[in-house]
Amino acid sequence: MESTRVDRWLWAVRLVKTRPDAAAACRAGHVRVNDRPAKPATTVSPGDEIRAHLNGTTRIVEVTRVIQKRVGAADAATCFIDRTPAPPPEASVPVARRERGAGRPTKRERRVLDRFRSSGR
């Protein structure tokens, strides 16, 4: 078995939950094989690079082994090399916190909080 359909492979290696979801992603243009738009019947073979925009994230994987039936998660992980870049770190904004049980803020504390909140925008 040297090649299989891309929708079947995406489902078999557990990148999508169902095979119809994989076919829909292909038809919508969210899947590319070797930088070419892929239809559900596009064949994939070992060495191909697949870019799939799924669930709001773009996954970049290289096919190492072709399978046609869904297998366990441990076996599925051996069928591809994940080349997805790490997401950029999110800038953490300091949040003003009061100690539990401190009660409502005083007028002065509220003004300080308002100044702090307006300076971040």
Task: Answer whether 44's CB lies under 8 Å from 6's CB.
Answer: yes
Report d(CA 19, CA 8) in Å as an integer: 6
Indicate the DSSP class of residue 121.
-
Residue 94, pLDDT above cutoff 80: no
pTM over 0.85: no
Sign of the C-alpha dihedral, residues 93, 96, 99, 103?
negative
* pLDDT value at 97 more than 90: no
* Alpha carbon distance 45, 38 (integer Å): 13
pLDDT digit string, tens, across residues 20-65:
999 999 999 999 999 999 999 999 999 999 999 988 889 999 999 9
Of 6, 88, 98, 85, the C-alpha closest to 43 is 6
